[in-house]
Amino acid sequence: MPSYRVHRLRKHLRQQFRYAPHVIGTASVKPRDYEPGEAVEAASPYGAFFAMRDAGTPLEPGDLLEAEAGGLRIFKFVGFEEAQWTLPETVESVPAGGQ
């Protein structure tokens, strides 16, 4: 059975997520906005949702499920949608002397 790693949206960002407009397409999420959570075994993201709800640790809108085989899903008010990590761009340093 597949395993999912839960990433919880940080508390101070929940209100902002609640009032953000719904967008279509893959959501871009920043790792710094999430706290790592527990792992859950389920056949699908919806199975994980119900298992966690029954265990007393429900997912909240904005939380992520990361499949062990790859793939990231964000829990929104309308269900689960695809997401991807947005990593900061690395700036290449220019050697002294300008070239």
pLDDT digits (tens, 9 = 90+) for 43-68: 999 999 999 999 999 999 999 999 98
Average pLDDT for 10-24: 88
> What average pLDDT does the structure give for the chain?
89
Name the residue range of residue 59's domain.
3-85
41 in a structural domain: yes
pLDDT at 23: 78
Residue 55 located in a structural domain: yes
In a domain, 12, yes or no: yes
**Res. 94: pLDDT tops 80:** no
Q: Residue 3 is encoded by which pair of tokens?
A: 């395993």
In a domain, residue 98? The reply is no
Total domain count, the chain:
1
Contact assessment for residue 80 and residue 65, using Cβ atoms and an 8 Å cutoff: yes
pTM over 0.85: no
